[in-house]
Amino acid sequence: SPIGRVSRYESSDFPFAIAYPASYDTQAAIELCRAYSHCFVAPGSGAIIGIVEGQLGEIDGRPFTLEDLRADLEASSLESGLQVLSHQEIITQAGAPALVSSFEELDDAYRVKVFTYLLEPNVMFRLVFIYSAKRFEEVFDYMVSSFEVTP
């Protein structure tokens, strides 16, 4: 692969799979990893990958939409001191809509990219990529391109 040797993460609870760099530590005991169901840390801690997945409830008596998840992500990011750079709707390799959001820390110490996929009815997969240098963006792009909904 263009990012070197990769391993495959496949959810044991939901039909999602994604490739990630094989050199990333899957057992890292860092505080930030506690926020995610699965966490992968680059050697030297220059990048952290967090995965959040789960069944969503309802919002105003209806299922969540990708737009609802975008608005929620933006609000929580602003509360965390992040500045919104962009939101872009994309089409996954499987032809399904997803969202890629980009943020930066106000002092530009790090950036965050988030891939959000919503599987009807109300099952979410979110990949949170926190990184310190632009060179890591290729890893995020490759991971997003490898995302799949499994049978």
Cα(109)–Cα(97) distance, integer angstroms: 31
pLDDT at residue 58 above 90?
A: no
**Residue 15 CA, distance from chain mean position:** 16
Q: Average pLDDT in the 11-32 region?
A: 91
By the 8 A CB rule, do 104 and 127 touch? no
Q: Average pLDDT in the 53-67 region?
A: 90
Whether the predicted model's global pTM rises above the 0.95 cut: no
Identify the CA nearest to 97 among candidates 147, 37, 58. 147
Reduced DSSP (H G I as helix, E B as strand, rest coil) percent helix, strand, coil of the chain, to 5 = 25, 45, 30
DSSP assignment of 3-23 = TSSEEEEE-SSSSEEEEEETT
**pLDDT value at residue 18:** 96
Q: Average pLDDT in the 133-150 region?
A: 93
**pLDDT value at residue 89:** 95
pLDDT at residue 29 above 80?
A: no
**Burial (CB count within 10 angstroms: exposed 0-12, middle 13-18, buried 19+), residue 8:** exposed
